[in-house]
Amino acid sequence: MDDELDGLLAQVLARTDTADPRLAEIFRSAVTHLHAFVREVRPTEQEWLRGLDFLVRTGQTCTGTRNEFILLSDMLGLTSAVDAVAHPGPPEATPSSVEGPFHSPAPRRALGATIAEGPEHGRAEPTFVHGRVTDCEGTPVPGATVDIWQADDAGFYDTQDGEQPPGNLRGLFTTDEDGRYWFSSVLPSSYPVPTDGPVGELLTALGRHPMRPAHIHYHVEAEGFRPLTTHVFVAGDEYLGSDAAFAVKDALVVAPEPREDGVLGFAFDIRLVPA
């Protein structure tokens, strides 16, 4: 049987005739691993069809605002792996982290504005967020675009929740002449990824919780620098050690502290890599 499997794989690889060497490389690697998987686990037909049905349902769960395959990639640590290979940076740069499925266009807001305009659920803690965008040597980057998105205090993004006004807990800021940005928000809380689809079924079957530790998402762009997508995580969160998306990095964890006025605050500086 191993001869038969070797022969099959050789046929599949030999049949490819593309002028695109990158496609050929990706295809060869994907097909070789998929065949190795079949050889290793020796699926029954029922198991194979169940696996394909999982993929069908994952595709059919996607909508304009929900991408279940990105979620699957996140939950398998693959998005973080791609992030690691796609965005290697010097150790002094702010590490990147996964984009996740919840980015959408944010309203442009003035520095200092609040991004929290939605209903609260009794747990919302006002929080002041500030920081500076610099290069890796600490030189300020004025005019950088800082795109922010986060879930509300009940764990939902505006796009998941009809009660939040569109653009709630999102904001597009431009750093000032010193590279600074600042805004008001509420302290993010940990939340579950959507569990009502096939990926939720998989997490349950694997005995895994669906929780992401509290975080605010950042996407930063500035001329002359590589765009950066990352998170800032809140120190002390019970899920920091078991993020369902495997996206936590030590350098991205900050501890909010009460300021003189009693409001929580934290700083998150961002060091960009030259393009």
- Select from 215, 143, 147 the least CA-distant residue to 175: 143
Closest separation in Å from C-beta 25 to a second copy: 6
Q: Is 109 helix (H, G, I), strand (E, B) or coil?
A: coil
C-beta of 15 vs 137, nearer to a second copy: 15
Q: Is 262 exposed, middle or buried (0-12, 13-18, 19+ CB in 10 A)?
A: exposed
Phi/psi at 270 (5° precision): -130, 125
C-beta of 66 vs 109, nearer to a second copy: 66
H or E, element range at 19:
none
| Rounded Cα gap, residues 71 and 74, in angstroms | 5
C-beta of 57 vs 109, nearer to a second copy: 57
Is residue 198 within 8 A of residue 57, CB to CB? The reply is yes
Closest separation in Å from C-beta 104 to a second copy: 15
C-beta of 56 vs 263, nearer to a second copy: 56
Q: Is 172 helix (H, G, I), strand (E, B) or coil?
A: strand
| Rounded Cα gap, residues 30 and 182, in angstroms | 44
Closest separation in Å from C-beta 51 to a second copy: 8
| Rounded Cα gap, residues 94 and 83, in angstroms | 13
DSSP of 173-203: EE--TTSEEEEEEE----EEPP-SSHHHHHH
C-beta of 214 vs 244, nearer to a second copy: 244
C-beta of 66 vs 121, nearer to a second copy: 66
